[in-house]
Structure 1
Amino acid sequence: MDDHCAPGHALRHTIAFHTTEPLWQRAPTRDEQGRPLPDFMMLIPRLGTRPARQVRTTLQAIAEVLHQYRDAVVFADMNLRINVLWVTVRPVPGICLELPAALKVRVPEAMLVAHRAG
């Protein structure tokens, strides 16, 4: 989902195998009114080296959780090369702990590495 989508719109699923823009250029940092957007990063150890079916199952679980939080999620990027999930969210109180906790329930090996409050 890009930084210009209004709350309540469906998440837009995209797959980019050879993204040329670095994450810092793609991830939105401000909402439609110019307010800072918080984000967090989760590490999923060795995900990219697992069998394809297991990777797909894990990615599906992540997508389902992100869909449940679609009103808060602005942007999500899963980098299988470095096994990192980056999520940018709307400034909802507690979301940078609640959403990673929900992801951890579905993907127990996922670890919250850092979050930026904005």
Structure 2
Amino acid sequence: MSASETPKPSALAPSLGLERAEPLFRRAPRCDENGRPLTDFMMVIPKLRNKPPRLIQDTIAKIERILACYAKEVVFADLNLQINVLWVITHARPGICLEIPVAINDAVPEALLVAQPRPY
């Protein structure tokens, strides 16, 4: 692998692969720093884990770019490649749980908001 092919470090904090991760409900915040409840959404990215590593990294980079645009709103994000699910927790704001998934879906068309009907 040449230096140009070396994957760039991720801005999202990866969980340790050597130890069993704590369940998300224990790691993920429920309230913001002022005690206000947070909101969340999940997206399924079908067959992501089965893609070549370079395509997985490209997809992750696209998601990171979108989440970086919403850095003030996004509190927590977890991409679980074992089940192909992205879980994002944000500060509550009207429309945010549709706005961010639409942006992610524009960049990663196969990403589906949970409960979103699949186009046929």
Provide TM-score, normalisation by structure 2. Answer: 0.82
Look up the match of 1:34: 35
Residues in 2 aligned to 1:46 and 1:26: alpha-carbon distance in whole angstroms: 26
Matched residue count: 103
Look up the match of 1:14: 13
Look up the match of 1:62: 63
Larger Rg: 2
1:24-64 Cα offsets, whole Å, 9 max, x none, are 11111101111110000000001011000000000000000
Provide TM-score, normalisation by structure 1. Answer: 0.83
Look up the match of 1:111: 112
Look up the match of 1:7: none
Look up the match of 2:49: 48
How far does residue 17 in structure 1 lie from its aligned partner after superposition?
3.8
How far does residue 69 in structure 1 lie from its aligned partner after superposition?
0.5
SS in structure 1 at match of 2:114: strand
Look up the match of 1:4: none
Unaligned runs of 5+ in 2: 1-10, 116-120
Same amino acid, percent of matched pairs: 51
Unaligned runs of 5+ in 1: 1-11
Q: Which amino acid aligns with 1:16?
A: S
Q: Which amino acid aligns with 1:66?
A: L
Residues in 2 aligned to 1:93 and 1:105: alpha-carbon distance in whole angstroms: 20
How far does residue 95 in structure 1 lie from its aligned partner after superposition?
0.3
SS in structure 2 at match of 1:38: strand
Residues in 2 aligned to 1:106 and 1:59: alpha-carbon distance in whole angstroms: 11
How far does residue 13 in structure 1 lie from its aligned partner after superposition?
2.9
